[in-house]
């Protein structure tokens, strides 16, 4: 009887330890994947391929962002489409207006900066 209990506890430790190792490894892989993605280097040509509402990448201050998921919830509406496929630093800094002729200095806006940071996918090649 005692042997059965000891065997049961050992089995639990082995199975539990195995699961912990597998799950632990997976989450550290995911973390590395995320970091690797953000460190990817793109050319202006790469970004230019993503120049539409349904697939919109942009460059701001030398960093590359995938705006696709953000376009439908941009508070300035479709003005953001002027950024798709190009370097939008001048738009973001309010130095150049969007298609509707409106613009604002986003670089002073905490919400815009915070939203942008979450969309980073890499940097521009030198
Ligand atoms: C070509 C690029 C862009 C243009 C022309 C543009 C234009 C505008 C305009 C005109 C507004 C004012 C909306 C209004 O109050 O009527 C606005 C607001 C806003 N935009 Fe953009 N935008 C651009 C890119 C972006 C990007 C890349 C982000 C962030 C990922 C962003 C985030 C925001 C936010 C958070 C607001 C609301 C600001 C506030 O009033 O608190 N925009 N945008």
- For the question of whether the overall pTM of this predicted structure is more than 0.85, the answer is no
Write out pLDDT tens, residues 74-115: 999 999 999 999 999 999 999 888 777 888 899 999 999 999
Strands, E, within 35-108: which ranges? Answer: 40-42, 51-52, 55-60, 63-66
Our answer on whether the CB atom of 80 is closer than 6 Å to any ligand 1 atom is yes
pLDDT band at 4 (very low <50, low <70, confident <90, very high): confident
pLDDT of 63 strictly over 90: yes
Q: Is the CB of 88 under 6 A from ligand 1?
A: yes
For residues 4 and 9, give the distance between their C-alpha atoms in angstroms, rounded to a whole number. 9
Give the other-Cβ count within 10 Å of 96's Cβ.
12
The stretch 66-74 carries a mean pLDDT of 98
């Amino acid at each position: 009887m005692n042997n059965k209990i000891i065997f049961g506890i050992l089995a639990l430790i082995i199975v539990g330890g195995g699961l912990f190792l597998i799950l632990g490894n997976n989450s550290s892989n995911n973390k590395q994947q995320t970091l690797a993605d953000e460190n990817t280097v793109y050319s202006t040509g790469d970004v230019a391929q993503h120049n539409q509402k349904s697939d919109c990448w942009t460059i701001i201050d030398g960093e590359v962002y995938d705006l696709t998921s953000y376009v439908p919830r941009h508070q300035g509406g479709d003005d953001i489409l002027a950024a798709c496929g190009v370097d939008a630093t001048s738009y973001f800094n309010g130095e150049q207006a969007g298609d509707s002729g409106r613009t604002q200095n986003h670089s002073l806006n905490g919400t815009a900066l915070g939203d942008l940071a979450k969309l980073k996918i890499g940097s521009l090649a030198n």
